[in-house]
């Protein structure tokens, strides 16, 4: 399990952010200085394998990055949608307040 520990994700912490994507195009868009990308191709098993190779202590934060304009017709190119929490398999994880 990837465990990222940080006291302030928005501080001057120089560790990279890990951007997890489903599509190679999304990974190319998210890539840049201070960002490491993992592209799972929408395969949960592949994603688990890729995440097992990552040392979460070396990361400032983990984000799920994707192009999702179809979520709401009111969204426009460049709009940013930030979740306040993530829910899966009966569990909930709150987003870090510095990112919300």
- For Cα atoms 42, 43, 48, give the angle at the middle one, nearest 5 degrees: 120
Using alpha carbons, select from 79, 58, 67, 77 the residue that is nearest to residue 4: 58
pLDDT at 69: 65
61 beta partners: 17
- Flag whether pLDDT at 98 surpasses 80: no
pTM of the full structure: 0.72
The model's confidence at residue 71, banded by pLDDT at 50, 70 and 90, is confident
**Residue percentage of the chain with pLDDT more than 90:** 41
Q: Which residues contact 56 (CB under 8 A, 6 or more apart)?
A: 2, 3, 4, 5, 62
Using alpha carbons, select from 29, 25, 50, 31 the residue that is nearest to residue 40: 50
The model's confidence at residue 11, banded by pLDDT at 50, 70 and 90, is low
């Amino acid at each position: 399990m990837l465990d990222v520990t940080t006291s302030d994700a928005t501080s001057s912490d120089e560790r990279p952010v890990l951007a997890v994507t489903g599509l190679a195009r999304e990974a190319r868009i998210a890539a840049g200085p201070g960002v490491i990308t993992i592209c799972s191709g929408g395969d949960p098993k592949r994603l688990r394998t890729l995440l097992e190779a990552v040392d979460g202590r070396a990361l400032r934060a983990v984000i799920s990055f994707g192009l999702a304009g179809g979520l709401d017709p009111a969204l426009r190119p460049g709009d940013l949608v930030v979740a306040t929490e993530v829910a899966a398999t009966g569990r909930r994880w709150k987003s870090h307040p510095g990112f919300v």
